[in-house]
Structures are given as structure tokens and as C-alpha cells.
Amino acid sequence: MAKICQVTQKKANSAKHIRHRHSGQWKFRAPKKNRFQAPNLQVVRVKTPNGVVKLTVAASVLRSPDFAAVVCGLRPIPAAWLKRPSYDV
């Protein structure tokens, strides 16, 4: 399964891992390796009239008022949230 938020489509971004020193002469600079920063994904169960739906969402989404309205039942779940995420655009 893709590591993508079903609500906001957040996914991992690339960053550099710097091992030790950040300064010095050019031949003594710290090596930098590529790495990924993954989003903080959580699995949430949301009750709907048709049953229970599991959503994989980022932790920042859990605090948003739009997501809270859907969980409380004030708004229906948007159809875009129910699709399984993929890396294809």
C-alpha cells in the first residue's frame, strides 16, 4: 500500500542525511546521503451509514475542522477520500 494520506495526498519528500560536521574545509565536509521524510500516517475508523470505513490520514489532518465535521457526522465523507491512494498522477 502506498504511504500517502487519503485526505490531503501528502507523501514522502526527499531530504539529505548529514552525518556529522557542518563546516570545515571542502575536503573535510560531511557526506550527505539522500533520504526520505515520511508523513506521520495514522489509520482511523470512521462510522458511516453504510458501515465502518478505514482511512489512512496524516496526523495533521486529525486536528483539522473539516475532518472533525466528517467524523462527527455533520458532513458526509467526500468520494475522493474513499479512493485508495497511488503514486500515479
Cell of 76: 458526509
pTM: predicted TM-score of the whole model, two decimal places = 0.78
pLDDT of 22: 64
d(CA 24, CA 46): 53
pLDDT of 64: 94
Average pLDDT of adjacent 10-residue blocks, the chain of 89 residues = 89 88 72 92 91 94 94 90 82
Question: Angle 43-49-53 (CA atoms, 0-180°, nearest 5)?
Answer: 15
pLDDT of 27: 74
Residues contacting residue 23 through CB under 8 Å, at least 6 positions apart: none
pLDDT of 83: 87
